[in-house]
């Protein structure tokens, strides 16, 4: 099961993911010729953070509370100051170890500190490994809106050890699998057909199934990033489920996980766009097999509140709220969301 793979892109980034790659991390970081290393990690990953910092001979190890609440601009300033206090220069490698929140926050900090320092992204969750750590998008929340401030800057190196996923709670483990389903639904019909029978094994955390799902996720996303790194066109397909999903997540204020909201968002966006019942049914079946809820809790299903948030989404332009949906599995199209269509989708059985 020791599968490792790398992608050569138009950027300087390198991706190494597989079982046991933590052992290769020191050599991989040394290949960047750093004049020092600073490790920043989720506070809940103390043992792993200590071990990685020791392996890398880090000058400093900084902890960050996990959770969406940490993704704020004030924390960027605090992290930048502490990294500099550790003696960092423009050649110091900053290592971010954790889930999507940590990789987003640390990636953003590394992209603006001294106008950019080397960044090594070490995703430790399925969500980060299958999506958030890939593609160079870094961001923090601001003004109550998710990822309102951000940059697009590729990490110099992405290293993910599949063994790091073993301690995740079930609900958190499922989050990244939702993103794999999303990618296949809008990008690759053959991969979606592969995920349908694979879903029960994924829900049981079968190692071979998880390895294949991560492989599919990385391959699909990086092919799209290579084609549209600046997110000007084709990469918009990856927004599937996020227009409504982010609105639900913002309204829930941390009471629903990101992956749960995206799963709900995918189904609602399909219904709002009038996507064929067959497509919606296949999506719903895979999400059910993974154990992902399909119905928005009533307290987070207010049409006017969700519409207000959606209209403030960073993707909205001149009052139009775009979303990408699969008109057929593997075939994405961009359509416009309206408040009437959102209301109808929420009322649908």
All structural domains of the chain: 14-167 (3.40.50.1970), 172-347 (1.20.1090.10)
CA-based R_g, the chain, Å: 19
The 157-161 sheet, strands edge to edge: 14-18, 157-161, 119-123, 93-98, 37-42, 60-64
Residue 10 has pLDDT above 50, yes or no: no
Please say whether the beta carbons of 59 and 95 come within 8 A.
no
| Cβ atoms of residues 266 and 285 within 8 Å | no
Yes or no: say if 272 and 342 are a contact pair by the CB < 8 Å rule. Answer: yes
List residues bridging with 332 in a β-sheet: 326
Give dist(CA 58, CA 327) in Å, integer. Answer: 49
Average pLDDT over residues 235-259: 92
The string of DSSP letters for 43-79 reads: GGGHHHHHHHHHHHT-SEEEEE--SGGG-BHHHHHHH
CA 271-273-279 angle, to 5 degrees, is 60
In which residue are the tokens 């889930």 written?
Answer: 99
Mean per-residue pLDDT, 105-131 = 96
Query: Which pLDDT tens digit goes with each residue over 48-58?
Result: 999 999 999 99
The mean pLDDT of 314-332, rounded to a whole number, is: 87
Segment 132-189, tens digit of pLDDT: 999 899 999 998 888 889 999 999 999 999 999 999 999 899 989 999 999 999 999 9
pLDDT at 7 over 70: no
- In order, the DSSP letters of 211-258 are HHHHHHHHHHHHHHHHH-TT-SSGGGGGGTTHHHHHHHHHHHTTSS-H
> Kindly report the CA angle at 132 between 320 and 35, in degrees rounded to 5?
125
> Whole-structure pTM over 0.75, yes or no?
yes
How crowded is residue 303: how many other Cβ atoms within 10 Å of its Cβ?
15
Identify the top-confidence range among 8-12, 112-116, 135-139. 112-116
User: By percentage, how much of the chain surpasses pLDDT 90?
Assistant: 78
Average pLDDT over residues 292-317: 89
pLDDT per position as a tens digit, 30-86: 999 999 999 999 999 999 999 999 999 999 999 999 888 899 999 999 999 999 999
User: Would you call 184 helix, strand, or coil by DSSP?
Assistant: helix
At residue 122, the 3 state secondary structure works out as: strand
The pLDDT mean for the chain works out to 91
Residue tagged 């075939």 (tokens): 331
Per-residue DSSP letter, 298: G
Residue recorded with tokens 């290293």 = 159
> What pLDDT score was predicted for residue 14?
85
């Amino acid at each position: 099961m020791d599968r490792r793979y790398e992608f050569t892109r138009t950027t300087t980034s390198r991706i190494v993911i597989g079982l046991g790659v933590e052992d290769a991390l020191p050599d991989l970081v040394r290949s960047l010729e750093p004049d020092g290393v600073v490790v920043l990690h989720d506070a809940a990953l103390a043992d792993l953070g200590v071990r990685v910092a020791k392996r890398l001979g880090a000058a400093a190890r900084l902890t960050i509370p996990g959770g969406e609440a940490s993704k704020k601009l004030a924390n960027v300033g605090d992290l930048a100051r502490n990294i500099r206090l550790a003696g960092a220069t423009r050649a110091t490698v900053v290592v971010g170890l954790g889930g999507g929140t940590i990789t987003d926050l640390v990636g953003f900090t590394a992209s603006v500190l001294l106008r950019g320092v080397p960044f090594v992204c070490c995703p430790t969750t399925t969500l980060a490994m299958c999506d958030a750590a890939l593609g160079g998008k870094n961001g923090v929340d601001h003004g109550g809106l998710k990822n309102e401030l951000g940059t697009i800057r590729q990490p110099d190196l992405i290293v993910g050890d599949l063994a790091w996923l073993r301690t995740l709670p079930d609900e958190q483990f499922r989050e990244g699998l939702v993103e794999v389903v999303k990618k296949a639904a809008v990008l690759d019909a053959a991969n979606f057909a592969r995920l349908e029978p694979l879903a029960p094994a994924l829900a049981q955390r079968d190692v071979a199934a998880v390895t294949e799902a991560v492989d599919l996720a990385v391959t699909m996303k990086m092919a799209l990033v290579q084609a549209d790194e600046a997110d000007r066109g084709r990469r918009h397909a990856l927004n599937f489920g996020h227009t409504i999903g982010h609105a639900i997540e913002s309204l829930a204020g941390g009471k629903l996980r990101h992956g749960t909201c995206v799963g709900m968002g995918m189904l609602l966006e399909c219904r709002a766009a009038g996507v064929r019942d067959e497509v919606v049914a296949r999506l719903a079946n895979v999400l059910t097999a993974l154990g992902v809820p399909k119905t928005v809790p009533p307290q987070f299903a207010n049409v006017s509140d969700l519409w207000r948030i959606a209209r403030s989404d960073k993707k909205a332009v001149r009052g139009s709220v775009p979303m990408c949906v699969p008109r057929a599995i593997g075939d994405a199209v961009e359509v416009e969301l309206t408040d009437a269509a959102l209301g109808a989708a929420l009322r649908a059985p």
